[in-house]
Amino acid sequence: MTLSELRYIMERSQREGHKALFDEYCNYVYAVIINVLRNIGTREDIEECVSDVFVKIYRSYRDNELREGDLKGFIGAVAKNTAIDYMRKLNSYNRRNTSMDDDDFPEMASNVRIDADAEKKDSKRLLMQMVESLGEPDSTIIVQQYFYDRTAKEIARSLGMTPAAVQKRSSRAREKLKSLLIKAGIGREAI
């Protein structure tokens, strides 16, 4: 959809224009946002961010801030910038809530193994690096499936694929990930 096509639809009905824009670019916006927030945000955070992106786009159109040019590029930039802002906000929130200066922070039990926890975190970080090394769309499929509990049908809709293609890619990606984990010497107990 071009900006001229959007203007034509919006002249007829603003509601139809909003719906057409959302239908056309929803999957693209989801992909951009998931790419930024997949390691830090919840599914609800991603949904909220997607909504905010479309509100910003609708406002930009209303305020005549959109110029002739690449509408997809503009939408991608708004999505990425909004997701980065959310990431910063979530990071800031997480840092404040884990401060050791808090009076309510419970005393650490003497049997807590900090070294084991650190090793587990390193393993999880390595796992995420391996998932990302699968490339797109495989890494997005794995993250959406196992971190956000999305179904193949939901993933297919967001990536513009068929559910069968998502299941096949997921199966292949899991096999590839398994061999990467074995090469790295990481078993289930480490994660």
User: Does residue 7 form part of some domain?
Assistant: yes
CB 31 within 8 A of CB 72: no
Number of H helices, E strands in the chain: 8, 0
In a shared domain, residues 28 and 67 = yes
In a shared domain, residues 41 and 125 = no
User: Does residue 108 form part of some domain?
Assistant: no
3-state secondary structure of 131: helix
| pLDDT number for residue 156 | 87
Here the tokens at position 146 are 């196992």
Q: How many domains does the chain have?
A: 2
CB 50 within 8 A of CB 25: no
CB 150 within 8 A of CB 115: no
User: Does residue 87 form part of some domain?
Assistant: yes
User: Does residue 104 form part of some domain?
Assistant: no
C-alpha 113/C-alpha 169 separation (Å) is: 38
What's the pTM?
0.47
144-178: per-residue pLDDT in tens?
Answer: 887 777 888 888 888 888 989 989 988 988 888 88
> Does position 68 have pLDDT exceeding 70, yes or no?
no
Here the tokens at position 117 are 């926890």
User: Does residue 52 form part of some domain?
Assistant: yes
The range of the structural domain enclosing residue 55 comes to 3-97
CATH of the domain at 172: 1.10.10.10
> Does position 107 have pLDDT exceeding 50, yes or no?
no
